Amino acid sequence: MASAWQLWRLQETDTAITQIEARIEELDSGQELEDIREELDQEKAGIENEIVEKKLKLKQEELKLGGMEDHLNSLKEKVFKGDTANPKELMAMQKELEIATAQKSAQEENVLMLMEAADGLELKKRELDKKFKDIDKILAGRNEEYKKEKKKLEDEVLIVKDRREKMASAIEPHVLKRYEDIRNKSNGIAVAKVIKGNCGGCFMTIPVPLLNRVKDRHMEFCSSCGRILFPDTEIPPVAAAEAAQSKDKA
């Protein structure tokens, strides 16, 4: 019959496995940086689309400006050529020339603003490209460190699992099953150490007769929480006195 000591050691091994696996889960894989990189990637895609739209708009407005310049040059030629002597027609042409000049000036301002906007977007894109390079450099180092640490912990947990398998093989199947059932429903603690006459799992006082059986290395279970009891090195004086009285009565 397996002893409480064997089960206690098995539980310590199971706890070690759980802790190592938790450390693997907690390793920094660089996911936070990956998330930032993804956000930057979306931002960059948006900027690139804006650049395309701005350049297309700029091209259209430059063509429009070119048409205005041609029209303005044509008007200037007519006005300064002196082909028209009629004052009314001359005034009308001068008015049209003024309007065309103002429109061209406004269009030049519009084109300039579009050029500045496009340049600003190009600058943002270059800044994002630099951020990408910085993040990729950090990620490369982080991934290497993550893989190395993960491999180390995975090797460690394999060794502990192998030790656990050997320990479990020395325990009767029905005892092992009961241990695992208790462990599953008791927050991973199937074996509780007796501490000053109390169960180390639920902290309830253990009756003296049960305490005596635990002291004698019998496989016993806490009457309150059902955990397997593992004896402490010595029974508290009060419990020892009560145990002596019980033996005398018997």
- Whole-model pTM above 0.75? no
Range(s) of the domain holding residue 178: 174-249
Do 130 and 205 fall within a single domain? no
Asked if 214 and 124 sit in the same domain, the reply is no
Give the residue from 157, 217, 151, 245 showing the smallest Cα distance to 1. 217
Mark whether 61 and 151 lie in a shared domain: yes
Among 115, 133, 168, the domain boundary falls at: 168
Mean pLDDT estimate for the chain: 88
Q: Is the domain of 39 the same as that of 100?
A: yes
- Which residues, at least 6 apart from 76, have a Cβ–Cβ distance to it below 8 Å? 97
If pLDDT is split at 50, 70 and 90, which confidence band does 185 have? very high
With a CB cutoff of 8 Å and minimum separation 6, the contacts of 131 are: 40
Mean pLDDT of 159-166: 96
Averaged pLDDT, 65-88 = 83
| The residue type at 169 | S
Are residues 161 and 77 part of one domain? Answer: yes
* pLDDT of 124 strictly over 90: yes
Distance separating the N- and C-terminal Cα atoms of the chain: 28
Query: What residues pair up with 193 in beta bridges, in sequence order?
Result: 230
Q: Choose among 45, 47, 36: nearest CA to 136.
A: 36
